[in-house]
Structure 1
């Protein structure tokens, strides 16, 4: 994660900074509630209607009162006070400090910085109809692209803070960018496991009073993921296939140690590269480095090549071999078994990968892809991964591929799982 920008201080005269001792006390009391704690000693049902419990995610927590809820974000150390629009508090309370911001919910008009925001969460919640502005037309969903081309969403400059302030909420996915009062941070990619990342649908759902739907979607995704993982663990193949994620950049090969990627390998029934291999980068121009790198490659059964290229559709197995700097690759089992993969199968305009969007909200599809990579059946069509050892190409996403009303909710794609898939 890039270094966080320094936060700007609001003027001391700002109304949002003016707290009486009573208000300060009430605010501290409000933020100290346990989940589902009510405002008073009485026990009426919360007016918010439905509630989300955080089960796995580590970087946010939710708390509920009678007419409000609080999302505590551990990434930016902010609390987002979500006040029901039907409550008396909605007309009297407004916070914008370094630690707390308030929003009136449910949101019906908002904007998004799309540089790193996975819009697929909004599709699953059915909230595209309320999305009024984005900061880039680099989209990775056929239905969002269709919705944009129909003129339902405008593009605004991400640096036009004053323009973006017209929206009740503007979501960003980069810490340090949430300085304006209506900016809120949404960053599921920071979590360490695929399921934790997917649970951030509950975070967004709270802004729209869509907890019930968020809970339902997450439960379906979580259970499908667990079923697929169990099915993969029941495979009789021994030993387990050894897999590694690696990339080439300016003459250096490096192995990825991202926790969620290592989790995917294990959940799919594979084995990660031995953790005792502490060296992580290898310079192909250094003979000793290159020899050691080739030795490691010879132990792998599956390779996922993450090398960045501006035009992914042009990247083939010949490019990989050229970067490896070796002519005799007969010891590479992943080549003889044709198991060299990339996650750039779904792409728009030759540059925008759905891997950074839809794959975050629906990890069960990624897991199913990897199970097919580790235990090939030949009868499963992968979603995000393509096998360049078999010269598989990309799927260019176009708006005509959208088969539903783009403003309606998208259903999660569940993979058949009954002991196999």
Structure 2
């Protein structure tokens, strides 16, 4: 169970490899035909993904609405469009950069955990030729891939830009690609350089909008047909799980979910407690499983009794705290840490404690402080919804969720490392949620 997500990536890649060849070019054009449509396979967005894409005969235009950047993807071997010039590499402007790349991609640098997950789903992990110095991932096979590759560094600077009154220092971040022959860097943030591509599923406002970032990266490889197939599978399973929640009556048996954390200062003292809000897409997914997020804004408490009163009617608590654990660089609390941090005791009548219904999203983690939740949840919302359904349906907590670790039941963390990547392609798995007939 705990290796499920990484196995899914391999098995889906195998299925795609067996599919008929895609119509979009897999290499460079040797003889340009200006009348030909070089991208007969296309993608479109249906949900609140955060990017837009349009097609011309030999180039694509992607607008990243999150990072405020434009990517002009030109079929290699064909001319770049004159009306979409790249922003000059020495420009001091911040935002609204236009970056021009040849596609399909050959070798890229990696500085994005969700991008790592998507590359594995598409079977393009071998295109990674370098990674950011401090990037950590949980996928065992991607860990193994990165182990033998160059690590690149970020450069920070403040070039001056002039206006009519004074020089302004403009923050600038770029990647030092050194002598590595790389097309670009898949990253998380918009960079003021010509070689970075921001991948932002975490900013999507809709659960399925997050999965549409598979289409985003697929476009950089001319893999639109495969990206559509992967997305349609996720979309179909998500709809099936929604129907399951309705048909089994879960959506009529609403439970309340809250997000909380305790705040510990360096000397070990817990000084306060905080009730957080859920992000829009997370709230949507919980609602689709019949779970309702607590009402109210982000609130801090300096008195533990007031905090306990605030969470007294919650059915499920999702813990957001950080706690050092002496294993690698991980910061993952155990149940004893939470008992101390939240000051739980036998005299309280807290429902979440009595029902063993306290979770963290670190069930699958690496010893270097990365969680699979931050990789795959961003682009596999069908499996996240399955987690929510399992949590809702459990009368006394569940240890069967993929990403949500039950702390009162002391469900163990599955620590992944590069050594776990053995015979993965031989394992038989599917993207089935294991719930009802949703497969």
- Which residue, out of 279, 301, 308, partners 1:294? 308
Q: What is the match of residue 131 of structure 2? A: 134
- Which residue, out of 334, 337, 342, partners 1:324? 342
How far residue 398 of structure 1 moved from its aligned partner, in angstroms, is 2.4
Contact 1:330 1:336 in 2 (8 A): no
CA distance in 2, matches of 1:283, 1:103: 50
CA distance in 2, matches of 1:127, 1:44: 30
- Which residue, out of 49, 66, 73, partners 1:75? 66
Q: What is the match of residue 167 of structure 1? A: 182
User: SS where residue 70 of structure 1 aligns?
Assistant: strand
Corresponding position: 1:339 with 2:335: no
CA distance in 1, matches of 2:230, 2:432: 10
User: Structure 1 residues 116-125 or 101-110, which shifts more?
Assistant: 116-125
How far residue 154 of structure 1 moved from its aligned partner, in angstroms, is 2.1
CA distance in 2, matches of 1:179, 1:404: 41
CA distance in 2, matches of 1:92, 1:270: 49
Contact 1:313 1:350 in 2 (8 A): no
- Which residue, out of 243, 256, 259, partners 2:280? 259
How far residue 212 of structure 1 moved from its aligned partner, in angstroms, is 0.6
User: SS where residue 265 of structure 1 aligns?
Assistant: helix
Unaligned runs of 5+ in 1: 1-42
CA distance in 2, matches of 1:379, 1:283: 29
How far residue 131 of structure 1 moved from its aligned partner, in angstroms, is 0.8
Q: What is the match of residue 414 of structure 1? A: 432
Q: What is the match of residue 144 of structure 2? A: 146
- Which residue, out of 349, 374, 398, partners 2:392? 374
CA deviations on 1:232-282 (whole Å, 9 max, x unpaired) are 233335541211122222423222331122122112221221x3x34x223
User: SS where residue 253 of structure 1 aligns?
Assistant: strand
CA distance in 1, matches of 2:46, 2:407: 37
How far residue 92 of structure 1 moved from its aligned partner, in angstroms, is 12
CA distance in 1, matches of 2:341, 2:300: 12
Mark the CA change 1:89 to 1:404 in structure 2 (over 3 Å): closer, same or farther: farther
Q: What is the match of residue 156 of structure 1? A: 152
Mark the CA change 1:252 to 1:179 in structure 2 (over 3 Å): closer, same or farther: same
Mark the CA change 1:70 to 1:217 in structure 2 (over 3 Å): closer, same or farther: same
How far residue 300 of structure 1 moved from its aligned partner, in angstroms, is 0.9
CA distance in 2, matches of 1:300, 1:379: 16
CA distance in 2, matches of 1:121, 1:307: 28
CA distance in 1, matches of 2:333, 2:424: 34
How far residue 166 of structure 1 moved from its aligned partner, in angstroms, is 4.4
Question: More strand by proportion, 1 or 2?
Answer: 2
User: SS where residue 304 of structure 1 aligns?
Assistant: strand
CA distance in 2, matches of 1:91, 1:179: 22
Contact 2:323 2:337 in 1 (8 A): no
CA distance in 1, matches of 2:199, 2:179: 16
CA distance in 2, matches of 1:338, 1:344: 17
Contact 1:85 1:104 in 2 (8 A): yes
Mark the CA change 1:172 to 1:242 in structure 2 (over 3 Å): closer, same or farther: same
Give the structure-1-normalised TM-score.
0.78
- Which residue, out of 176, 193, 205, partners 2:206? 193
CA distance in 1, matches of 2:68, 2:429: 32
CA deviations on 1:98-156 (whole Å, 9 max, x unpaired) are 54211100011111224x5541011111111111000135221111012233x2x3222
CA distance in 2, matches of 1:197, 1:342: 21
CA distance in 2, matches of 1:106, 1:91: 20
Aligned residues: 365
Aligned-pair Cα RMSD in Å: 3.0
How far residue 94 of structure 1 moved from its aligned partner, in angstroms, is 5.8
CA distance in 2, matches of 1:385, 1:295: 25
CA distance in 2, matches of 1:379, 1:329: 24
CA distance in 1, matches of 2:67, 2:368: 33
CA distance in 1, matches of 2:317, 2:384: 15
- Which residue, out of 381, 388, 394, partners 2:413? 394
Contact 1:118 1:360 in 2 (8 A): no
Give the structure-2-normalised TM-score.
0.75
Mark the CA change 1:350 to 1:336 in structure 2 (over 3 Å): closer, same or farther: farther
